[in-house]
Amino acid sequence: MENEEDFDVRWADLRQNIKSMFGKKPDLNAILFLIGVQELGQGVREFTKEEKQDLMHIATCKLLSLSGYYALEGLDQEGWPHWKSVKPLPACNLKEQERMLKWHALEYFDQMK
């Protein structure tokens, strides 16, 4: 298990790498949006506010699928992925939820290397 300092360094490195590509250092929500766009696989385009929320939901499900909490059910007619919960998430506070998503985001990008 990695310690808090190593985790923080990995997170800062990921944010810096994304900044070098897009010119702006992203927060967790921006990273979730990027993952959602990647998982949707329809390229970069303008998204409505509702679609942006859907993209962040797709990203969250994708990330939590890395630990078996969600499974991909399939794609709808427009090609948007749909997920189903397969096991309950552990009870945790907001800070713990954020850390869990950050950890999964790091794993996601590590798998892309």
pLDDT reported for residue 1: 65
Q: How far apart are CA 49 and CA 39, in angstroms?
A: 18
Confidence (pLDDT) at 2: 79
Number of H helices, E strands in the chain: 4, 2
18 within 8 A of 31, measured Cβ to Cβ: yes
Q: What is the pLDDT of residue 46?
A: 94
Query: From CA 36, how far away is CA 58, in angstroms rounded?
Result: 5
Cross-strand bridge partners of residue 84? 71
| Three-class SS state of 76 | coil
Q: What is the DSSP letter of 73?
A: E
Q: Which residues of the chain have pLDDT under 50?
A: none
Domain locations in the chain as residue ranges: 4-112
Considering only CA atoms, give the Rg of the chain. 14
**Model pTM?**
0.93
The pLDDT, as a whole number, for residue 113 is 77
